[in-house]
Structure 1
């Protein structure tokens, strides 16, 4: 008995359904109609959508649209792509565009199951000239057939669909963000992401949404990790004792303490995970979640994982952070000690054990190139220099400026005669505090020091 005969015997219902009279034109009539279609579909997320279901309903809509006009001969379906990404940034859509250049591409038109699945805002308006150049039609259910880009009615409809698609995204985004703000601030809810070093995730009870709870969904919260929480407490204590970030990192490496990416390799496959760095220590010591408060929106969301790996992490302004009103988990440092840690500024110790300090750190800019000048000890005195962007990894050139040095006492002497400052009754520390407080920048060259505000306006009086 052949395999086909065996399948027929095992599935009598399918055999009966296939033997019933079918309404409409036979399949052969469809095949005689000339157009060959490439179906394009898309789904946004992998975790919250089912690929089979999403593809199926889009494909069915497209099949009904082209029924009697041709048949779908190939398929391009993107998974995990937001509609806000242009077609050239979606893998399968980009492949479809590349296929347009092939004279033997095998299809005459493109069909989609729903406008919002394929386009957002004015994406179709930018794509229309490309399709017209290659003589490829675009079929939409909303136009009940091919789109005529020269028809004013179709132009108005496309503009309306684009605006509606953009509005849908913005409305959903606004609702989600406002809900997450409320959950973080009012409930202290853990909203996902990697747990901070020193914590682990534990069960926090059933989900407050009754429907999610019936499906077995649970909340999670942070709990001190017995293996790493002690290292975080030690780091805060060392920083409060006056140790530099580099010194703390060296101490952890010397002790063989696993770094965050080494402890959690599954969430950090893109990192080496072999040692502590200054940036890692700084990130831990500046994270307010160690006070027991839940904090959300510290950094912008990244929709492109490849860009996240290439660029350093950037923080949102503290005014945009959402902090829970109450403690949401066990703190590893008190709020008072955390705030005190943020105020610690360590200065490099000289060979003789004395502490070197600089009054104008961060306030001086080079008059030649505009860069910030760095603190530099000059002839046993505090001073500043600008290397005009040159580092030890670059070969010197004949066309670069010479390194510019200026002593701190010379800066004070120049500012004493500045018409915008009445320095007679001021002390140097009070002068530096005044400049910091008023966000005044000092632009220095070999002859003068000029005061400017944050908008680069010179202060003359």
Structure 2
């Protein structure tokens, strides 16, 4: 081993001596003089991208750009952060911005390895003024050095790079979603994600892509789970017999049947595992995958524009018009198609032409006792909000505190007093809370503001 290491060192020494031009134009970190650079890089997904390799090529590009001008003395690298996130919402980028206010920050300029790794759209135009105010220049490989917005060519370059970064994201997204749509519809392919409750994943043969197959990747499909599949079949059978959704959930809890997050906590780490809820039973009854067909696009990811508050990526349920259903049965069914349709008709008959109520402060009111977000409800002909402290008809709690009720018209007055903005209209008031990322903590004795 020692001999091999000696051979490597000898080879490296010979290579350095044979390339004097490259060695001369690179400044070693221990050499005095020149600019001190802070390197910023980013990798989007830690699961599908190799962090070390991505960081290395970005750092190499930055080192090559600043060679002969200075050395990189600090590094800020965000992992598993989308480029759509503004810098303030990326941990390392936010830390870099915070360092700008420190006169002893230790760097004079910021360098990135590629525009698309650091910025999305016109994000650079919002970051550059912050850097300029601190006397820090931004170096880009695409600009072959520092960016100077006083030059018309650099202004045009930044606009071009911003448009190009958007186009790259949109093009990749369009291609991926179009391919997934065809794979789900025509092949019934399982496209990843957590296995559906009642099923387990089994091998479905080699991957159709020759290169992926060569690497050992294989397809998967659903197969009934002998432990949980009978629970799903019992739920559908009880609903067809006329049992209510809450009655089914309550019976499952009384019988001690493990809910999905209890049955497999490793794949449901984001769930509390406190038992069956109405929403859990309702989701099972409304999932067409139990008929043996693959269904895609029931809950797609939707992206919030970068300039708007809130999470950059959220998932929302879609209507049946947007579902993509396989043209054939691709895995064993736990319920017949006729029974599934009958259950859906029961759900539709339970809410015939129900009026649509609108609530201003959904997600903005929190219970001061149990810290739950208040649920919207229609009370005595007006909008209101309530907290039942975890009590539901599926999971009753004895000795619990009384429900907390808050009327929306009274909350308008309270919030205006808290914000001292009496002139704002109701809708503008709710938007102001979301924009400032504020919530209202509600108790029986009073209300107060807190961060969202």
Q: Same fold (TM over 0.5)?
A: yes
Equivalent position of 1:35 in the other structure: 35
Give the superposition deviation at 1:244: 0.4
Higher relative contact order, chain-length normalized (CA < 8 Å, sep 6+): 2
Tell me, yes or no, if the aligned pair for 2:29 and 2:71 is still in contact at 8 Å: no
Query: 1:248-267: CA deviations, max 9, x gaps?
Result: 01111121111000011011
Q: Does residue 1:362 correspond to 2:354, yes or no?
A: yes
Rg comparison, structure with higher value: 1
Aligned counterpart, 1:60:
60
Give secondary structure in 2 for the equivalent of 1:338: helix
Q: Could you tell me which residue of structure 1 aligns to residue 327 of structure 2?
A: 325
The equivalent of 2:161 in structure 1 is 161
Secondary structure of 1:389's counterpart equals: strand
Change in CA separation of 1:203 and 1:364 when aligned onto 2, cut-off 3 Å: closer
Change (3 A) 1:400 1:88: closer
Structure 1: gaps (5+ residues) = 1-5, 348-356, 375-384, 402-461
Report the CA distance between 1:16 and its aligned residue: 4.8
Counterpart Cα distance in 2 of 1:372 and 1:263 = 32
Q: Which residue of 1 aligns with 2:82?
A: 82
Of 8, 18, 23, 2:20 maps to 23
The number of equivalent residue pairs is 367
Aligned 8 A contact 1:8 1:15 in 2? no
TM-score (norm 1): 0.73
**Whole-Å separation in 1 of the counterparts to 2:288 and 2:64:** 55
Query: Are 1:113 and 1:141, in contact at CA under 8 Å, matched by a contact in 2?
Result: yes
Kindly indicate whether the alpha-carbon contact (under 8 Å) linking 2:111 and 2:139 is maintained by their aligned counterparts in 1. Answer: yes
Shift of 1:33: 3.3
The separation in 1 between residues aligned to 2:200 and 2:191, in whole angstroms, is 14
Q: CA deviation at 1:30?
A: 8.4
Once the two structures are overlaid, the 10-residue window that deviates more, 241-250 or 31-40, is 31-40
On the 8 A contact 1:223/1:330 being kept in 2, the answer is yes
Q: C-alpha displacement at 1:48, in angstroms?
A: 2.2
Q: Taking structure 1 as reference, are residues 29 and 314 closer, same or farther at Cα in structure 2, changes over 3 Å only? A: closer
Shift of 1:361: 6.7
Is the alpha carbon distance of 1:126 and 1:365 closer, same or farther for their aligned partners in structure 2, counting shifts above 3 Å? closer
Contact 2:37 2:71 in 1 (8 A): yes
C-alpha separation between the residues in 2 aligned to 1:48 and 1:388? Answer: 45
- The 1:11/1:200 distance shift into structure 2, 3 A limit, reads same
Deviates more, 1:14-23 or 1:89-98: 14-23
- Cα distance in 2, alignment partners of residues 50 and 33 from structure 1: 34
Q: Secondary structure at the match of 1:11?
A: helix
The answer on whether the counterparts of 2:377 and 2:384 sit within 8 Å (CA) in structure 1 is no
Indicate the SS of the match to 2:332.
coil
Change (3 A) 1:396 1:116: closer
Task: Report the RMSD for the aligned CA atoms in angstroms.
Answer: 3.0
Gaps of 5+ in 2: 305-309, 359-375, 387-401, 412-452
Task: State the 1:207 CA deviation.
Answer: 0.2
